[in-house]
Amino acid sequence: MEILDTQIPPVNIFLRSSLYTTTNSNSDGIKNNLVFEINESIQCDPLLDMLISCNSFQFINSFYTINEYNCYFYYIKASNIQDIITVIIPLGNYNIKTLVTQLNNLIPYLQFTYNASTSKITITSKDTVSSFKLVDINGKYLNIYETLGFDDWGTSIYDTSHTSPYLYNLITVQVLHICVTNLNLENVFVRNTQRHNILASIHIDSMFGNTQTYFNTSGYKYKISDPTTTFLNIVILDQDFNVVNFQNIDWFINIAFYFVTKKDVKLSTTLEDHQNSLTEELGPDSYIIESELHQALNELL
């Protein structure tokens, strides 16, 4: 249902990632934390509420299977528990066959195999005698374990062979969270978590190299508590709230601002509040009157 009730037209802004004003990204070409200054400020009258919506977002699936967040493999041999062996997997797009081949070439001590019917990975010590385990070194879980179907903290025991308890998952970036960090969206978020001001969450269903377009078919809009907007800081995160690398490929977004009249709506917060309000209206004998009426109706039936 359309709730716009003013004659003020919406403000539509079309953004292309390469036409940003400034960038807060750590390196060139990532295009995931960009500031766009607008040519005139968007003002909201005190008698109005301002709403914002991400009406569309278009991008190319350019996300590598192995990226900067899952390119590390750590393991410890039981024969030398003081030595954490670190392996860095080259960034790139892999299928399960090429990924297993790459791991076998990089780590000669271990043998990686996969089961096509169960979609699970087995890692075995090549000498079949020496035991090992997978570890994480900094608690940030920037490793390949979840991609291979293991817990992101590694394995709990030393063994000569480890089979992943879960299926391997080569879709590293599964969701795009479109965030506008400089505006305060009035929304609900999980307690004890960082607030990201997510304007839209897009589940990726395109293959690598293909274009995907998101449309806000629900028409949902967020209320903004900021009276004036002079720029938009767009940050794009994945499902783990890591910034996304678009490999220097442009994305396009349509953001719209809407204006509605402020409403003074008072709702009873609880059923108890509603009952107390009813009691005040009918007087202290309301419960007795209600009970007698209910009994009289039962006798008539």
pLDDT in tens, 171-187: 999 999 999 999 888 77
Q: Which residue, 99, 75, 253, is CA-closest to 171? A: 99
Look at residue 301 and give its three-state secondary structure.
coil
What's the whole-number average pLDDT of the chain?
A: 87
Cα torsion 204, 207, 210, 212 to 10°: value is -20
Residue 209: pLDDT over 80: yes
Report d(CA 185, CA 200) in Å as an integer.
12
What fold, for 11-62+173-261? Jelly Rolls (2.60.120)
How much is the average pLDDT of 181-204? Answer: 82
Residue 283: pLDDT over 70: no
Q: Is the dihedral of CA 33, 34, 35, 38 positive or negative?
A: negative
Lowest mean pLDDT among 119-133, 211-225, 256-270: 256-270
* Exposure of 283 in the CB half-sphere (CA atoms within 13 A): 3
- pTM metric for this prediction: 0.81
Exposed/middle/buried for residue 202 (C-beta within 10 Å: 0-12, 13-18, 19+): middle
Domain with CATH 2.60.120.1100 in the chain: 11-62+173-261
In 3-state terms the chain splits into helix, strand, coil percentages (rounded to 5) of: 15, 35, 50
CB atoms near residue 197 (< 10 Å): 20
Q: Which residue, 123, 87, 77, 124, is CA-closest to 107? A: 87
State residue 296's pLDDT score: 60
Structure tokens of 48?
A: 């109005």
